[in-house]
Amino acid sequence: MSISIKTEQDLVELRIAARLGAELLDYLTPFVKPGITTKEIDRLAHEYTVKVQGGIPAPLNYAPPGYTPYPASICTSVNHVVCHGIPNDRALKDGDVVNIDVTVIKNGWHGDTSRMFLVGKVPPHVERLCRITYEAMWHGIQQVRPGAHLGDIGHAIQTFAEAAGYSVVREFCGHGIGRKFHEDPQVLHYGRPGTLEELRPGMVFTIEPMINAGRREIREMPDGWTIVTKDRSLSAQWEHMVLVTPTGYEVLTVSTGTPAPPAFVGAAQAA
């Protein structure tokens, strides 16, 4: 495994791409209402990325080995869809939850982030899954500092999510990111403290836990992309890009609309 260390110059570019990802989610937020289709959200995202941000939507035609080219500019994963949901013509309805996952390429650098959106009024158990998943991501982020290990991140996420009665998807993970969309390391959202790679300043990776209300098993749909829970239970996901700094971490995917960190995150740390 070879994990790239970003230089200060690299980070200037990467921070820009990451901010554009977050700003794209800010732009989409007011449109995520009952009645809109995910295909309409995809079209809005494509236009904004290309025409306003001068960027390229990384998902469009993305084709890792063994996959057919991804047919849209964002992923929209509704309710029991875990990840990689392809935008379609079904309108969002009151009570749905949707993860919107965007990746903007700017000057060759990637900005990858996702948030959960609550459509209209959602039942308390749905709101709880989204909130606990957000907190799980932040428990992972809080582990990030030089000398910590990737296993510390996975362990923090897994123990928190499972204590809340939920399960952690195993088949998809966070990833290093930079000039490449997906690079080393893999960032598992479960694991044991002190195991796997040691973190060093200049590493940048995503933390993007997928948490299911029911069992952790998943199924791939015949489209070759959409991943759903096998038991059709609800699934939630949040994603940030995180830099290992000399003293801790810096979240790169920030914008004016980025949700505040949970109360348990120290104000000084969350910068």
Residues near ligand MF3, by CB under 6 A: 59, 62, 70, 75, 84, 101, 103, 112, 206, 208, 225, 239
Pick from ligand MF3, Co ion, none: which does 135 bind, CB < 5 to 8 A by kind? none
Instruction: Provide, rounded to whole angstroms, the least separation between the CB of residue 58 and Co ion.
Output: 9
Judged by CB under 5 A, the residue of 38, 99, 142, 206 near Co ion is 206
Torsion angles phi and psi, residue 122, rounded to 5: -110, 150
N-term to C-term CA, the chain: 30
Site string for Co ion, 222-241 (x = CB under 5 A): -----------------x--
Contacts of 154 (CB under 8 A, 6+ apart): 140, 187, 188, 189, 190, 191, 192, 196
Pick from ligand MF3, Co ion, none: which does 84 bind, CB < 5 to 8 A by kind? ligand MF3
Q: Cα separation of 211 and 207, whole Å?
A: 13
Q: What SS3 class is residue 145?
A: coil
The amino acid present at 194, given as its one-letter code, is: G
Q: Are 181 and 62 in contact (CB under 8 A)?
A: yes
Check residue 101 for interaction with Co ion (CB under 5 A). yes
Cis upstream peptide for 246 (omega within 30°): no
Q: Quick one: 122 or 212, whose CB is closer to ligand MF3?
A: 212
Instruction: Provide, rounded to whole angstroms, the least separation between the CB of residue 114 and Co ion.
Output: 5
Pick from Co ion, ligand MF3, none: which does 59 bind, CB < 5 to 8 A by kind? ligand MF3
Q: Quick one: 137 or 156, whose CB is closer to Co ion?
A: 137
Q: Quick one: 184 or 231, whose CB is closer to Co ion?
A: 184
Which secondary-structure segment (H or E) carries 50?
A: none
Sheet bearing 167-168, strands edge to edge: 167-168, 210-212, 235-237
Length of the chain: 271
Q: Are 241 and 140 in contact (CB under 8 A)?
A: no
Pick from Co ion, ligand MF3, none: which does 152 bind, CB < 5 to 8 A by kind? none
Judged by CB under 5 A, the residue of 23, 96, 112, 183 near Co ion is 112
Instruction: Provide, rounded to whole angstroms, the least separation between the CB of residue 9 and ligand MF3.
Output: 25
Q: Cα separation of 66 and 46, whole Å?
A: 25
Task: State the residue number with the nearest CB to ligand MF3.
Answer: 59
Interface residues toward Co ion, by CB under 5 A: 101, 112, 206, 239
